[in-house]
Amino acid sequence: MQLTIEEMLFFKRQGYLIKRGAMDPELMARARQQIWDKALPSMQRDDPATWVGPVKEEEVVEDPLLLAKGYRWHNYAMGKQKWVIEMLATNPNVFGMAEQLLGKDEVVIPDMIRGIYCTLPYDDHSINTNDCHTDGHTLQLGIVGYIDDVPPNSGGFRVWPGSHRPLYYAFESQYMNEPSSTYKETLERVRQEESIDCHGAAGDVVFWHHRLGHMAGHNYSSRIRQAALYDFCSKELGDWWNKKRVPTPIMLEPPNVNMWKDWSPELQALET
């Protein structure tokens, strides 16, 4: 599986791209099963009524291996398992497409991913907040892999197309979390623009530029939104997730006139 020229152009213009059917069905089924090994006491896999958030106060968990709070249920520990990494980040389809965007032999080979991120159903709770934001940690190319079907309005990754361009220049540096004096104004302007619900099926992967405005969508379905997340970096940027958190020189550079200078020659050559 590869990205076409048209898909790479779409990514460059819009800041995101959905690639369908990129992940292994057997590994996704295994992941869905293992998620329930760390289910909250009140949650029963065969009873959707017990999945509805928010998480009960007495069942809230906040630690480096598991988060259960509000409508979020994140299993970080799974992100360190070799087969989970192979399901998403080192999957030949996914890694190969990341190399098309970042450069052949230029992508750090991961030994962990963020983990499995779940959004619980809202049921009849009305939550309409616009949480469009950019991530505060260092990354270059984010990916969200759905390990189960995510119909419309079911908590899918929501993006603001094209927002990566103005937001890239609203920071003091290329990759650090250093908003400039124009950031708040730029982000507020982006929030007023149309957003896209990146719904899809199990196996679909959303690729997104690190300065793209985005949020975890609201889940008005009866399902749990289940996704695996990872952040790709080129070797020049540094293995930020897996090594010491020491900024490399490229992280501290100010935004470049050519915002794609750290990406693959193939992507840079495409005229937008």
- Please report, for the domain that includes residue 153, its CATH number: 2.60.120.620
Asked which of 3-12, 125-134, 159-168, 178-187 is least confident by mean pLDDT, the reply is 125-134
Q: What's the total number of domains in the chain?
A: 1
pLDDT at 58 over 60: yes
What integer pLDDT is reported at residue 105 of this predicted model?
A: 95
Query: Given CA atoms 32, 34, 40, 45 in this order, what sign does their dihedral have?
Result: positive
CB neighbour class for 253 (10 Å; exposed up to 12, middle 13-18, buried from 19): middle
In sequence order, which residues have a C-beta less than 8 Å from that of residue 141 and are 6 or more positions away? 98, 101, 102, 207, 208, 209, 210, 231, 232, 233
**Best CA proximity match to 93, nearest among 175, 162, 15, 27:** 27
What is the pLDDT at residue 250?
84
Q: Is 85 in a helix, a strand, or coil?
A: helix
Q: What is the pLDDT of residue 240?
A: 56
* pLDDT tens digits, 15-48: 999 999 999 999 999 999 999 998 999 999 999 9
Q: Is the pLDDT at 161 greater than 90, yes or no?
A: yes
Q: Which domain holds residue 222?
A: 5-269
CA dihedral 164, 167, 172, 178 (to 10 degrees): -100
Buried b (16+ CB within 10 A) or exposed e, 42-54: ebeeeeeeebbbb
- pTM for the model: 0.94
Contacts within 8 Å (CB) and 24+ apart, 3-9:
3/97, 3/100, 3/101, 5/270, 8/100, 8/101, 8/266, 8/267, 8/270, 9/270, 9/272
Q: Indicate whether 174 pLDDT > 60.
A: yes
Query: What is the separation of C-alpha 64 from the centre of its chain, rounded to a whole number of angstroms?
Result: 18
- 181 Cβ contact partners less than 8 Å away, ≥ 6 residues apart: none
pLDDT of residue 38: 87
- H/E stretch holding 35 reads helix 25-35
pLDDT tops 80 at residue 127: no
Amino acid (1-letter code) at residue 254: P
Q: Looking at residue 249, what is its pLDDT?
A: 82
270, 9 contact by CB (below 8 A): yes
- Whether 123 shows a pLDDT value over 90: the answer reads no
